Amino acid sequence: MPFCLPRLCTHVDARALKTAGDPFPVAEQVDYLPGSIQGQFSVSQTGVLAFNSGGGSLKSQITWFDRGGRAIGAVGPPSVMQAPAISPDGTTVVVDRLDEASGTYALWLYDLVHQTGSRFTFDPSNHMFPLWSPDGSSILFASNRTGKFGLYEKAASGAEQEKLLFEADGETLPTDWSPRFVLLSHVAVKTGIDLWSLPMAGNAKAAPVLRTRFAENHGKLSPDGRWLAYDSDESGQPEVYVQTFPGAEGKWQVSTKGGARPVWSRSGRELFYISADNNLTAVDVESGARFEHGVPRPLFDVHMPPTATYDVSRDGTRFLILKGIDPEVAAPMTVVVNSLRRE
C-alpha cells in the first residue's frame, strides 16, 4: 500500500497525486493498483517523492513452482490479482481478480481437479485478500461495500449470502484464519499498519496484538497456534519476526537481510518469506516447548506484483505464486524533489 504523509493522498481516477485538504497536483500518470487504494509511490518526510509511471505492469498468472523455481503449471487466465489461497484439502484455489468492466475486485474459485473456474462474489464493490476457514467450509475476505473495508464470510458452496464479521474505522484486511482466531491487518491514522486478532468463539471483540509506531503486517499463526510470524519495519527495513501467541513472552528475528510476507508450512517445520532481493526463502524451525530457527535458505527468485501474497502446498513441495507478466515497455520510476511545496 502507498506511504502517505498527512498532506498527501492518491487520486487514482486521474492517475495523479494530490495534496489533501486544499488539493493541488504534485505528479501525473502515477501507476496504481486498479480497484484499490494502493498507489505505486512513496514519500519521504522531507518531501522527496518517488513513483512508478504508466500502468499495466501488475497483470500476473497464477503459477505453480517447485522448490527449485521451475514453473510446473498454471491456474486460470492472466489478470490483475493479489492473493491466491489454496483450500485445506488442496483441490481449489480462491483469488481476488480485477473485473475490468467495474474496476473492482471479485473472488473467483478454480477447481484444480476439473480445471474449471467460476466467479464467487457478485456485489459491485471490492472483494479482496480471501482466506479459507480451517475446515474449508467458508471463505473470509475484505470488502468496502459500506465505504469501509470490513471482513465478510461466505460459505464456500456459495449457497449463503455474505455475513459481516468485523468493521472499524480505517482499512481492515484479513491475513490469517486459525481454528481460534482471525488475524487482521488494520491501518490506523496514528499508528499506521497494526496487527489485530478476532476470536472466532464467544462474544470477545477484536483487539490489537501489535500496535506500535512501526508497520506490522502479514501476520500468520503456526499450525499449532502458538507462534505468530509477521513482518515489521522497526529496524529501518522490513524483517520477519516470530513471537509467542497470544502473549508476547518471546520474540525472534528470522530474516537477516530484509524480508516480508511470511507463510508457515502445513507441518510447522518451515517458515517461508520473500527476501528484500525478491527470493522466496525457507527457514527450518522448531516450535515445541521453545522456538528455534535455522539459517535462511534462498530457494528461487520470484517476480510478483508488489502487494501480492502467495501460498504453499500441503506437502511443502510446491508454491502458488502470482507470476508477474512483464509489460512491453518497462514503467519508469520518477523522483520529485520538494513535492509538498506549492508553486
pLDDT, tens digit, 9 for 90 and up, residues 266-304: 999 999 999 999 999 999 999 877 899 999 999 999 999
Q: In this predicted structure, which of 174-178, 280-284, 306-310 has the lowest mean pLDDT?
A: 306-310
Taking 60 as the threshold, does the pLDDT of residue 339 lie above it?
no
Q: CB 281: neighbour CB atoms within 10 A?
A: 25
Query: Tell me, what's the pLDDT at 289?
Result: 77
For 328-338, what is the mean pLDDT?
63
Query: Tell me, what's the pLDDT at 157?
Result: 95
Taking 80 as the threshold, does the pLDDT of residue 327 lie above it?
no
The C-alpha atoms of residue 311 and residue 232 are separated, in whole angstroms, by 20
Rg over alpha carbons for the chain, rounded to the nearest Å, is: 20
Taking 90 as the threshold, does the pLDDT of residue 323 lie above it?
yes
Q: Is residue 311 part of a domain?
A: no
pLDDT, tens digit, 9 for 90 and up, residues 154-175: 999 998 889 999 998 888 999 9
Higher-confidence residue of 212 and 50: namely 212
Q: CB 77: neighbour CB atoms within 10 A?
A: 11
Taking 50 as the threshold, does the pLDDT of residue 330 lie above it?
no
Q: Is residue 66 part of a domain?
A: no
pLDDT, tens digit, 9 for 90 and up, residues 65-106: 999 999 999 999 999 999 999 999 999 999 999 999 999 999
Taking 70 as the threshold, does the pLDDT of residue 185 lie above it?
yes
Q: In this predicted structure, which of 133-137, 227-231, 283-287 has the lowest mean pLDDT?
A: 283-287
pTM of the shown model: 0.82
Q: Is residue 29 part of a domain?
A: yes
Q: Is residue 320 part of a domain?
A: no
For 186-204, what is the mean pLDDT?
88
For 237-246, what is the mean pLDDT?
96
Q: pLDDT > 90: what percent of the chain?
A: 68
Higher-confidence residue of 184 and 54: namely 184
Q: Is residue 199 part of a domain?
A: no
The C-alpha atoms of residue 299 and residue 286 are separated, in whole angstroms, by 20
Is there a contact between 302 and 260 (Cβ–Cβ < 8 Å)? no
For 2-10, what is the mean pLDDT?
37
Q: Which domain holds residue 12?
A: 8-54+330-336
Query: Tell me, what's the pLDDT at 114?
Result: 96
Q: Is residue 323 part of a domain?
A: no
Taking 80 as the threshold, does the pLDDT of residue 204 lie above it?
no
Name the pLDDT band for 4 (thresholds 50, 70, 90).
Answer: very low
Q: Is residue 105 part of a domain?
A: no
Taking 80 as the threshold, does the pLDDT of residue 331 lie above it?
no
Higher-confidence residue of 306 and 109: namely 109
Taking 70 as the threshold, does the pLDDT of residue 15 lie above it?
no
Query: Tell me, what's the pLDDT at 55?
Result: 52
Query: Tell me, what's the pLDDT at 83?
Result: 97
Query: Tell me, what's the pLDDT at 45?
Result: 64
Q: Is residue 14 part of a domain?
A: yes
Q: What's the domain count of the chain?
A: 1
pLDDT, tens digit, 9 for 90 and up, residues 34-61: 544 455 666 666 777 776 665 556 899 9
